[in-house]
Amino acid sequence: MYGMTPWKDEVVQYPYRYKETQNSDGTVEHEPSPGTVMQQGTPQSATNFNHMENGIHDAHVAEAIFMQAKMHQQEEVERRLGEHDAEFTSETGAVTLTNSNKVFFAFNNSGTTVALKTVRKTMNYDLDIEVVEVAGGQVGDVIVYDKQLNGFKLKFEGSAKTVKVKYKVRGGMYA
């Protein structure tokens, strides 16, 4: 830690008194005549000035270390905010499921693979499914199955020919 030097001014009996001398060429010369020294001032020496310079340098080094630590902290905050945003920002889309089986409604071949735009880090993501449009029968249940990091599959169990669904994916970004 920097040890301060207590600087003192020199205190004299008559600080602004001068002895005036007339020169032969007509000029006047003023010479300080302060009287007695009441307090000795701190010497303006290389030792004292170098000590001051070392303290200034130490302060600048400490500030640079602090700024580097602050920058690393800011990077960590931005990284965590990015993860947070990715976790809670939803990905939405729509898909049409088509049942081309004409034999019997219990044998439904409407399974469709939906690819995610953003690959997840875990399969622990939530899906909200909303049926938007139905044609040619009943929807039954809409089933999500075969969840993967980059997508999932959807199918419906009813007798409809086509079902249009909207989906919303949230989460799965924290490993």
pLDDT in tens, 48-94: 899 999 999 999 999 999 999 999 999 999 988 888 887 788 899 99
Specify the amino acid at residue 104: F
Q: Where does 90-171 sit in CATH, by number?
A: 2.60.40.2080
Q: Which of 29-38, 69-78, 96-105, 118-127 has the lowest mean pLDDT?
A: 96-105
Nearest C-alpha neighbor of 164 from the set 107, 105, 97:
97
Quote the pLDDT of residue 106: 59
DSSP conformational letter for 46: H
* Cβ neighbour number for residue 165 with a 10 Å cutoff: 21
The predicted-structure confidence for 14-39, as pLDDT tens digits, reads as follows 999 999 999 999 999 999 999 999 99
Question: What are the sequence ranges of the domains in the chain?
Answer: 11-85, 90-171
The predicted-structure confidence for 159-168, as pLDDT tens digits, reads as follows 889 999 999 9
pTM listed for this prediction: 0.55
